[in-house]
Amino acid sequence: MKEIVYVTMQLSNNGADRVASRLITAWMDKGHDVTIVQLAPDCKTDTYSLPEKVKVIDFNSDHGVIMTWINNIINLKKVLKHK
């Protein structure tokens, strides 16, 4: 079993995210643990159906753009360190 971290700005209503949702479902069906990390503020994951056990982490930040990216990198490093 693998631990997979899928990093995206957000899961939105487009073709790439539809493919991502199908990949995530397939990975979970194979027994892998999947975590979705969304970098954009005010993200929604209800656009596509995802397995119940998928973990979703939102990196919401109200700072300026540079501080947002710095915080995103720091938070992503913490997530990856625990995997």
CB 31 within 8 A of CB 59: no
Q: Structural domain of residue 27, as residue ranges?
A: 3-81
Mind listing the pLDDT tens digit of every residue in the chain (83 residues)? 899 999 887 787 788 888 999 999 999 999 999 998 887 766 666 667 788 899 888 876 555 666 777 788 888 888 888 76
The token pair that represents 74 in the structure block: 């720091």
Q: Could you tell me the CATH number of the domain that includes residue 56? A: 3.40.50.2000
How many domains does the chain divide into?
1
Give which of 43, 48, 39 is closest to 18, Cα–Cα.
48
- In sign, the C-alpha dihedral spanning 29, 2, 39, 56 is positive
- CA 13 to centroid of chain Cα atoms: 15
